Chain A
Amino acid sequence: MAGLKAMLCMCEGVTLEDVDRAIEEGFADVESIKRRLRIGMGTCQGRYCVPILIAYLSRKLGVPPEKLAPPLVRPPLEMAPAYIFTGGEHEG
């Protein structure tokens, strides 16, 4: 079993052990752990990892999952090339 790790966030390579350590450092809410470990800040924008984080924190801290609000969703919903915001066409 040595060397096996439970990955929680694939985009940023965050493991359950990283989350345990962040909790020991005093971070016990989703927004803080997101910024401490970058969970949900990669290309999936939290679609896969944030629900897993909430489920894990809920069990670990004994808090019902509905009390652990998911992080605020920032626009754009999907990443988008910059040129579409200038209103013009872009060759490329």
Chain B
Amino acid sequence: MRAEVVVVGGGITGVSAAYFLAREGARSIIVYEKNYIGSGSTFKCAGGIRASFTSQEHIVLMKRSIELWGELARELGVKYLRSGYLWLASRERDLERLKSYSAIHNSFGVPTRVVGPDFLSKVAPYVDSSRLAGALFDPLAGKACPFDATQKLYSASRRMGVDYRFEEVTGLLAEGGSVRGVRTRTGDVHAEHVVVAAGVWSKPLLEKAGVDLPLAPEPHHAVITEEFGRLFDPLIIDVETGAYAVQTFEGHVLMGVEVPEEPLWEPTPRLDFLEKVVRVWSRWLPWLPRANLIRYWVGHYEVTPDHHPVLGPVSGVEGLYVATGFSGHGFMMGPVVGEELASWVLKGHSKTQEARNLTVDRFREGRLIKELAVIG
């Protein structure tokens, strides 16, 4: 069995890579997924999409990703809305911090601005503004449905001839400084290029090939309420705690907040998460205590020391590429990462300097990147 490109991982990164590779003319692409499409971290995420970061790498890549999200909505009918992000501050010092972020955003052309209660009542009629010191609104940000987006990219790439196989890749084949393919329980598959997009599980797979990724599996918790009519359009963030809440396309309210966690491969539900998330959001959503919670789950952020992804070729193993370490931003970056990977594999270079800054070499060379705005 032989392919031009093998992609390991059928989450947003893998299906997006397959989609852009097929669109750019890769001849034969096989995607391996050990469970079902989206089953790793993608389907556990909130679906928020923003460029309002504080590093040039995140901002430039996310601005392009947002353009591509718009294209995917038009071309594949992906459920995507540019409904904004709204960062809520109840204390003056938090508002000052938001203003300093906004200055960085604006200098990179991301039009965030400070808004007050009048604006809140228009875009978020069921958020209580009585405690509001001020809010930062990002009109470029938005949300997509993780199920819909990932499954539509899967179906579209399948229609373009991408071969999806639902089995586990147990090892990488490498020889003389070049990748040769992947190993599965049903046999070896040879490939000129191998893209590892297996989220947090990329680390053990790459370890077997002698590649060390500084990646930690950090548990993150989320809970969802029953369905409601329109409550608030933007994804909202409580700046004090970093908690987020988003109303899904069906009307459920999906909420998360950070609770102290150590890296853990098999995370479990925690009652203290539910206690904290309900307590934090009840301050802004006074109706929440009486809303029903219907589902609670735990997923992973695959966290790097500088909270930026690891992208592109792995030096020392020709033909091997990686895309992981998104530190909570993998879904939103999916389209731009797919596009960058297609360029790397088919043309031998990334599209942007910002993507090139994110190769795994930066950890060895001590070129870490600084990001201030990590949430949930």
Contact = CB atoms under 8 A, between A and B. Distances in A.
Given A38-B250, A82-B291, A90-B290, A32 B151 contact: yes
A79 interface: yes
Interface residues of A, number: 25
Contacts of A41: 295
Chain B contact-residue range equals 20 to 34
B116 interface: no
B372 interface: no
Interface in B283-330: 288-297
A92 B286 CA distance: 12
B279 A86 contact: yes
A86 B291 CA distance: 13
Interface stretch (B34-42, B67-75, B190-198): B34-42
B293 A82 contact: yes
A82 B275 contact: no
B282 interface: yes
A90 B289 contact: yes
B353 interface: no
Given A32-B36, A74-B296, A87-B275, A26 B291 contact: no
Contacts of B36: 29, 31-32
Nearest to B285: A82
Given A26-B155, A32-B151, A92-B289, A85 B278 contact: yes
Contact of A86 (B43, B147, B282, B294): B282
A79 B253 CA distance: 14
A75 B289 contact: no
A36 B293 contact: no
B292 A85 contact: no
A75 B269 contact: yes
A32 B39 CA distance: 9
| Contact residues of B: prevailing secondary structure | mixed
Contacts, number: 75
Contacts of A75: 269, 295-296
A36 B278 CA distance: 29
A80 interface: yes
A13 to B, nearest CB: 12
A74 B292 contact: no
A28 to B, nearest CB: 9
Interface in A42-58: 43, 45
A79 B293 contact: yes
Given A31-B36, A35-B43, A75-B269, A83 B250 contact: no
B37 A32 contact: yes
Interface string A68-79: 000000111001
B279 A83 contact: no
Given A26-B154, A32-B151, A76-B293, A82 B250 contact: no
A25 interface: yes
A81 B290 contact: yes
A45 B269 CA distance: 18
Contacts of A26: 154-155, 158, 164
Nearest to A31: B36
Nearest to A80: B293
Contacts of A45: 294-295
Q: Max chain A CB contacts within 10 Å: which of B38, B154, B166, B294?
A: B294
A41 B224 CA distance: 11
B375 interface: no
A77 B102 CA distance: 42
Instruction: Please name the 3 residue pairs, one residue from A and one from B, whose CB atoms are nearest each other, closest first.
Output: A83-B289, A85-B274, A35-B147
Given A25-B151, A81-B289, 12 more contacts: A27-B151, A35-B151, A43-B226, A75-B269, A79-B226, A82-B282, A83-B289, A83-B290, A85-B271, A85-B278, A86-B279, A92-B289
8 contacts: A32-B37, A32-B151, A74-B295, A80-B293, A81-B292, A82-B288, A85-B271, A86-B279
Interface of A: 25-27, 29, 31-32, 35-36, 38, 41, 43, 45, 74-76, 79-83, 85-87, 90, 92
